[in-house]
Homo-oligomer: A and B are copies of this chain.
Amino acid sequence: MVVSMSSCRIFRLFLHPSSSTLYRKYRNTCIHHISTSSSLLQIMGDQVADKMENLTTSDKGQKKECPAKKEDGDGVPAAPSSSGGGGKAALKVPKGTRDYSPQQMAIRESVLATIIQCFKRHGAENIDTPVFELKDVLTGKYGEDSKLIYDLKDQGGEILSLRYDLTVPFARYLAMSKISSIKRYHIAKVYRRDNPAMTRGRFREFYQCDFDIAGAYDPMLPDAECIKMVEEILNALQIGEFQIKINHRQILDGVFELCGVPLEKFREICSSVDKLDKSPWEEVRNEMINEKGLSPEIADKIGKKIQVSGKPNDVIAQLKSDTDFMSNPTTKQGLESMELLFKYCQLMGVEESSVSFDLSLARGLDYYTGVIYEAVLISRGKGGAAVGVGSIAGGGRYDTLVGMFDPKKRNVPCVGVSIGVERVFSIIEQRSDKKIRTTETQVYVATAQKGLVEERVKILSTLWGSGIKAEHSYKASPKLLQQLQYCEEMQIPWAVVIGEGELEKGIVKLRNVATREEEEIPRTDLIPILKARLS
């Protein structure tokens, strides 16, 4: 952490807080700095950070209440737990979760507003579902990842679990409400008992921003729009270079078929392929052979066929010259679908450089049945070589999930995308250097002498009544300097200052906080003048 001049000043002030208001503001800034350094700890590994956290909690005189330590699922010691209430409460948030400070909320709000703007530009409606579902709703939908689901305690009622994503609740909603077509977005928190990596934006409680198009439509029109929207959103967020990798489950299935993979192993081999974004082919190959029981010949065939990616037109040309590929009806049909998809993408104005056709993209979840895609942020190495530095959005087509809930197995075809906003928040938090405003206050009402609180309140009342965002000190007789410093710190554009002189003359001083220029205006003109300045 680079300790800047301003943070030194902050620490000095922090030690000698002369006013409560200033104290709080500098306090907050300090907290920001402190949390930056604790982030550094987390870079050292979350386990280390977690142990330090436990130490800190123990330091707070909790040792006596600490029961025999339980090991967490991932080998991290559980937090010490005190049995009583009152002053002994543990002073931390659950592992893998965080409070959002006003600064973080300001970033979150602006990121979500950008995303919602895109969703609305494409005509989406908004829905919400409960944070928990009957456990049965989630059962059998997530494959191996089901172990990460948070269950609620059986308290003598229904058996409930926290939602793991927004897609399964969406499918349950469609089946339950018998909706056969909808274009909706849903922005809400989901829960996974995963190993957190907070600085990289991986939490146990995190936001998902989902957009999905449900309905029986013509091929690839909804699918292409989802890809278009990922491009629009990532461009609008300005978080750096990205690429949207695209593939089709039908192509993967066809490749497995033509390589001789037994049908019953398709899903587990698909799950091995999914690991290619993090592991080298050698490891994935070993898993296929040693864990999934494929012959080395079949594994090698798969490796050759799927390690193909590049510009859509190049990959399409390459595959068309592959006789194996073109003679298998499944891969051939998948390729035709991809051609149509890329044609629509081009017509929609998706940049060729934004997308790649990547046969090694598999996506983890079982429910995908068609097009799949994943956007990754790109870091340019030496010589300009692109390296993927993490997934930022993903999705695909899932045509059979709704049918799993419908009593008559009636399916509603769906395609959608989920934006990984926590990662976006992290990126923007880490790079934002200038102070973000956390309030929208337009006018601060200040008094220059003691005993004027009633006059201040009267002016405030007029301002609020005119829809002007206004604040004052909650001290009856605050010092003028402190009031003005607060305005500068919070970047409030205007201050109205009254003293006994102003009261007698029926005027107020209107101060431009940034320039510190002051002018006297008649009190009766205050509202129209302010409204003109603020518009």
Q: Are B101 and A461 in contact (CB under 8 A)?
A: no
A71 is an interface residue with CB less than 8 A from chain B: yes
* Distance between A186 CB and nearest chain B CB, rounded to angstroms: 9
* Distance between A519 CB and nearest chain B CB, rounded to angstroms: 23
A409 to B182, CA, bound (A): 53
A127 to B105, CA, bound (A): 6
A328 is an interface residue with CB less than 8 A from chain B: no
Q: Are B127 and A474 in contact (CB under 8 A)?
A: no
Q: Name the segment of A151-159, A284-292, A379-387 touching the other chain.
A: A151-159
Q: Are B180 and A136 in contact (CB under 8 A)?
A: no
Given A126-B109, A441-B123, A468-B121, the answer on whether A136 and B88 have CB atoms closer than 8 Å is yes
A123-149 contacts to B, CB under 8 A, are 123-137, 139-141
A326 is an interface residue with CB less than 8 A from chain B: no
A228 to B217, CA, bound (A): 53
Q: Name the segment of A19-27, A237-245, A500-508 touching the other chain.
A: A19-27
Kindly identify which residue among B135, B344, B457 contacts A344, using a CB–CB cutoff of 8 Å: B457
Q: How many residues of A contact B (CB 8 A)?
A: 133
A208-243 contacts to B, CB under 8 A, are 213, 215-218, 221-222, 224-225, 228, 232
Q: Are A471 and B122 in contact (CB under 8 A)?
A: yes
Q: Are B132 and A97 in contact (CB under 8 A)?
A: yes
Q: Are A141 and B85 in contact (CB under 8 A)?
A: yes
* Distance between A422 CB and nearest chain B CB, rounded to angstroms: 13
Q: Are A81 and B158 in contact (CB under 8 A)?
A: yes
A47 is an interface residue with CB less than 8 A from chain B: no
Of all chain B residues, the one with the shortest Cβ separation from A132 is: B94
Query: Which residues on B sit within 8 Å (CB–CB) of A73?
Result: 155-157
A262 is an interface residue with CB less than 8 A from chain B: no
Q: Are B23 and A181 in contact (CB under 8 A)?
A: yes
Q: Are A221 and B155 in contact (CB under 8 A)?
A: no
Q: Are A91 and B175 in contact (CB under 8 A)?
A: yes
A523 is an interface residue with CB less than 8 A from chain B: no
A469 is an interface residue with CB less than 8 A from chain B: yes
Q: Are B102 and A72 in contact (CB under 8 A)?
A: no
Which among A94, A213, A464 has the highest number of chain B CB atoms within 10 Å? Answer: A94
Kindly identify which residue among B82, B88, B160 contacts A94, using a CB–CB cutoff of 8 Å: B160
Kindly identify which residue among B84, B406, B453, B457 contacts A139, using a CB–CB cutoff of 8 Å: B84
Q: Are B134 and A193 in contact (CB under 8 A)?
A: no
Q: Are B464 and A228 in contact (CB under 8 A)?
A: yes
A440 is an interface residue with CB less than 8 A from chain B: yes
* Distance between A16 CB and nearest chain B CB, rounded to angstroms: 14
Q: Are B24 and A181 in contact (CB under 8 A)?
A: yes
Query: Which residues on B sit within 8 Å (CB–CB) of A94?
Result: 130, 132-134, 158, 160
A28 is an interface residue with CB less than 8 A from chain B: yes
* Distance between A373 CB and nearest chain B CB, rounded to angstroms: 18
Query: Which residues on B sit within 8 Å (CB–CB) of A225?
Result: 474
Kindly identify which residue among B71, B131, B215, B404 contacts A205, using a CB–CB cutoff of 8 Å: B131
Q: Are A347 and B70 in contact (CB under 8 A)?
A: no
Query: Which residues on B sit within 8 Å (CB–CB) of A98?
Result: 130
Of all chain B residues, the one with the shortest Cβ separation from A350 is: B461
Kindly identify which residue among B83, B136, B476 contacts A218, using a CB–CB cutoff of 8 Å: B476
A521 to B266, CA, bound (A): 54
Query: Which residues on B sit within 8 Å (CB–CB) of A172?
Result: 89, 91
A72 to B139, CA, bound (A): 22
Given A128-B99, A176-B91, A180-B27, the answer on whether A155 and B160 have CB atoms closer than 8 Å is no
Query: Which residues on B sit within 8 Å (CB–CB) of A221?
Result: 453, 457, 474-476
Q: Are A102 and B87 in contact (CB under 8 A)?
A: no
* Distance between A112 CB and nearest chain B CB, rounded to angstroms: 12
Query: Which residues on B sit within 8 Å (CB–CB) of A123?
Result: 439, 441, 469-471
Query: Which residues on B sit within 8 Å (CB–CB) of A129?
Result: 93, 99-100
Kindly identify which residue among B183, B439, B477 contacts A120, using a CB–CB cutoff of 8 Å: B439
A458 to B177, CA, bound (A): 34
* Distance between A134 CB and nearest chain B CB, rounded to angstroms: 5
A-B contact pairs, 28 of them (CB 8 A): A27-B178, A27-B180, A31-B177, A31-B178, A73-B157, A78-B157, A79-B158, A85-B136, A85-B140, A89-B404, A93-B129, A93-B133, A99-B128, A100-B127, A101-B127, A101-B177, A102-B125, A106-B126, A121-B467, A130-B205, A131-B191, A132-B205, A218-B453, A218-B475, A218-B477, A221-B453, A225-B474, A348-B457
